[in-house]
Amino acid sequence: MKILVAEDNPVVAELLNKILTKDGHGVVLAENGQKAWELFQKQRFRMIISDWMMPEMDGITLCNKIRAEKSSHYVYIILQTTKDQLPDTLAGFKAGVDDYIIKPYHPEEIRARIRSGLRIIELEQKIHEEANAILKKHKELEKSYMDTIRLLSSLMEMLNPVLGEYMKHAGRLSRELAEDFGLEKETADQIEIAGLFHDIGLLGLPELMLSKNEIEMDKTELGLYTQHPLIAALSFDAVKRLSGASEIILRHHENFDGSGFPNGLKESKIPIGARIVAAVSDYCKIIHTWPADIKGIKKKAANNFGIEITEDFDTNDPDTLNKQIAKKVLEIGSNSKYDADVVEKLIKITKKTGTGESREWVNIEDLKKGMALAKELCLKDGRHLLSKDVALNAASIRSIKQLKDFNVLDDRIFVTYIQSPG
């Protein structure tokens, strides 16, 4: 144990140095309280032996300053005093002194005091290690919990690839926005879950209806559509751990100006998670469920927002056009349908998407951890296997290689990966 000794009397300081060094402790000497404080700030000792009366800074002041520090570990402080000072020891205990030793003292007495302090320090260290182990286990459980949630999202995608892919993207973007707003991890988890499953209440409805916007629906379809937040929220509300996501899902069709459903909430009365998912889900829905040809995209845009929405866009790439329209829709709805702060952050995030990415066809044998699917992975018979943007890990790569041995997969996969800087 490295011990800091604050003592202005060189004879006493040397005595302590000899006793402690003989017992195997490392000793650092300070000739006064101020010097001891400076040394403590640099080395963060676990045990300090200090004289009470010293020049520049006394032992009580030194103790007060140490206790005021936000230290990651406990510092055991022994104060040396005299019989004349004993009536004033209450001041020392108030300052956080752990123990006293009265001068003059026998070497065995100082050793006994040291052993007592070491027991406290070792106990504190053990508690700290056990707390860290519990925290680590908790983090592992939290990660496992979120991995399970994401797996369920992938399974849902197998039932409806278009809806599943769109909601998976919405979940990822919703989490990025939540973190950009500086929200706590638990809140970000609930927002991600809400993004992943916000439209789960639409499962079972005709697939053609899923690609429609509200303005394109007839009265019957609109009636069914407006029920889906209630249906999804009711399912999630049954699980206590998902109650936060349930509230977000219930409110994600509330418009910022109060014109939404089911309760016509407005502005800050709409939970921040619901405001995030509202903007993200509309953005992702355009990207993933709109037509894949320029003519079809422009026709759908004109039906929903007027022909003028595409007049400023000059591209022959369907993906680019859908993204441009999605961004324009956010800007048009800013401060009416959507929270303007959410729109601003979402547009900034989507501008970064794809930066530094490279896409190419890779032989299955050359797949590496960290690559992600640039397109949906299907078996040769057309069955959905993995969704676009799924990050490949060692386990998934191993399974893909095994499937290739059964001749149910093509030899190459279209992947994307982040290039190393420089």
Q: Distance between CA atoms of 50 and 59, rounded to whole angstroms?
A: 6
Q: Which residues of the chain have pLDDT under 70?
A: 83-89, 151, 154-159, 353-358, 418-422
Task: Give the pair of three-digit tokens for residue 333.
Answer: 């709805």
Question: Phi and psi of 291, rounded to 5°?
Answer: -55, 160
The pLDDT of residue 420? 40
pLDDT in tens, 231-285: 989 888 878 888 899 999 999 999 999 999 999 999 999 999 999 999 999 999 9
pLDDT for the residue 177: 96
Q: How high is the pLDDT of residue 83?
A: 63
Q: Which CATH class is domain 356-422?
A: alpha beta
Instruction: Return d(Cα 387, Cα 370) in angstroms, integer.
Output: 15
Tell me the CATH architecture of domain 160-353. Answer: Orthogonal Bundle (1.10)
**Helix segments in 3-55, DSSP class H:** 10-22, 33-43
Return the amino acid letter for 283. Y
Q: How far apart are CA 150 and CA 175, in angstroms?
A: 13
Residues 283 and 326: their CA atoms lie apart, in Å, by 5
Distance of CA 380 to the CA centre of its chain: 38
User: What CA–CA distance (Å, rounded) separates 193 from 249?
Assistant: 9
Domain ranges (residues) in the chain: 2-130, 160-353, 356-422
Hey, which residues does 334 pair with through a beta bridge?
Answer: 338
Q: Kindly calculate the radius of gyration of the chain based on its CA atoms and give it in whole angstroms.
A: 33
- For residues 403 and 91, what is the distance between their CA atoms, to the nearest angstrom? 75
Q: What is the pLDDT of residue 156?
A: 67
**How far apart are the C-alpha atoms of 265 and 273, rounded to whole Å?**
14
Topology of 2-130 in CATH? Rossmann fold (3.40.50)
pLDDT in tens, 330-384: 999 999 999 999 999 999 998 875 444 567 889 999 999 888 888 888 888 878 7
List strands edge to edge, sheet with 47-51: 26-30, 2-6, 47-51, 76-81, 99-102
**In a 3-state reduction of DSSP, which class is residue 389?**
coil
* 180, 284, 296, 337 from 351: Cα distances, Å: 14, 14, 24, 21
Element (H, E) at 274: helix 272-289
